[in-house]
């Protein structure tokens, strides 16, 4: 009798154990069901800051004379820019760069015999940082007029920036998160389930490219400064549970 009772108890214990294990497995399997989607936030915007610079130079055998000429050029450049509407406070002149110039010397048989001093090259640049984008763009195109005044000038291309990048990034993160949730809901519904809680979210790389420009996204992020109108984007990778 005791042997039969013991066998029954053992049997019931085994059945209960398997039931518990099976239930735990089902619960574990159910809780691990999830869906992973990536949402995109994208927005076009216009730069509100411009930076432009130009370089002018003088060459002369005598350093003092070259410096005096460059000093006169600076005054001409400054007066020209102010006459075009640029504020004096927006002008920044660099320190003068001095370079000693030498040339190779050859004898009558075209044999190199050394280098000889031929003078100095003095260079200075002027840069403008302003919110008046249209004005600075116009000046950057017309600045070569100074060449007619005898100034050796090299004008660079403007660079464009945006002063509200932090606010823009927050806006894009919200859009990317909403896009990811909508995608997850669509997939879950199509599969006959429902979307559960958010388990994890990872932000992708912040990218800024010129609008309608064929630029390549970089792993570390792209930051376009050559285009006035830009497109910013960011991705958010999310994991949701499925009900």
| pLDDT over 90 at 6, yes or no | no
Beta-bridge mates of residue 40? 235
Average pLDDT over the chain reads: 88
Q: List pLDDT tens digits, range 226-241.
A: 999 999 999 999 999 9
Mean pLDDT throughout 98-114?
89
| pLDDT over 60 at 208, yes or no | yes
Beta-bridge mates of residue 96? none
Task: Please choose, from the candidates 46, 44, 40, the residue with its C-alpha nearest in 3D space to the C-alpha of residue 175.
Answer: 40
| pLDDT over 60 at 69, yes or no | yes
- How high is the pLDDT of residue 32? 55
Rounded percentage of the chain residues whose pLDDT exceeds 70:
87
Q: Which of 154-163, 169-178, 198-207, 213-222 has the lowest mean pLDDT?
A: 213-222
Q: Specify the residue for token string 């007066």.
A: 79
- How high is the pLDDT of residue 24? 43
Domains of the chain and any CATH numbers = 33-46+163-242 (3.30.110.170), 49-161 (3.30.70.2970)
Residue by residue, DSSP assigns 125-173 as: EEEEEES-HHHHHHHHHHGGGGGGGT-EEEEPPPEEE-TTHHHHHHHHH
Phi, psi of 235 (to 5 degrees): -115, 155
Q: List pLDDT tens digits, range 109-145.
A: 889 888 998 999 999 999 999 999 999 999 999 998 9
Q: Model-level pTM?
A: 0.78
- How high is the pLDDT of residue 108? 85
Q: List pLDDT tens digits, range 47-60.
A: 999 999 999 999 99
Region of residue 178 (phi > 0: left; psi between -120 and 50: alpha; otherwise: beta): alpha
Identify the band that residue 171 occupies on the pLDDT scale cut at 50, 70 and 90.
very high
């Amino acid at each position: 009798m005791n042997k039969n009772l013991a066998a029954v108890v053992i049997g019931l214990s085994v059945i209960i154990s398997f039931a518990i294990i099976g239930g735990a497995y089902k619960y574990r399997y159910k809780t691990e069901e999830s869906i992973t989607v990536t949402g995109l936030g994208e927005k076009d915007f216009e730069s509100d800051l411009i930076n432009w610079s130009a370089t002018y130079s003088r060459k002369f055998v005598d350093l003092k004379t070259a410096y005096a000429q460059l000093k006169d050029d600076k005054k001409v450049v400054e007066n020209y820019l102010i006459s075009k509407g640029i504020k004096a406070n927006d002008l920044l002149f660099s320190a003068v760069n001095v370079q000693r110039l030498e040339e190779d010397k050859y004898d009558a048989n075209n044999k190199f015999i050394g280098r000889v001093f031929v003078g100095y090259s003095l260079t200075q640049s002027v840069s403008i940082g302003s919110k008046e984008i249209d004005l600075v763009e116009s000046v950057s195109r017309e600045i070569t007029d100074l060449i007619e005044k005898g100034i050796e000038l090299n004008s660079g291309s403007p660079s464009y920036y945006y002063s509200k990048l932090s606010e823009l990034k927050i806006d894009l993160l919200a859009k990317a998160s909403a896009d990811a949730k909508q995608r997850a809901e669509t997939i879950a519904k199509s599969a006959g389930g429902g979307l559960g809680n958010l388990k994890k979210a990872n932000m992708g790389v912040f990218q800024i490219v010129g609008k309608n420009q064929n630029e390549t996204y970089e792993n570390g992020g792209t930051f376009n400064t050559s285009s006035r109108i830009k497109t910013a984007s960011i991705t958010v990778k999310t994991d949701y549970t499925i009900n």
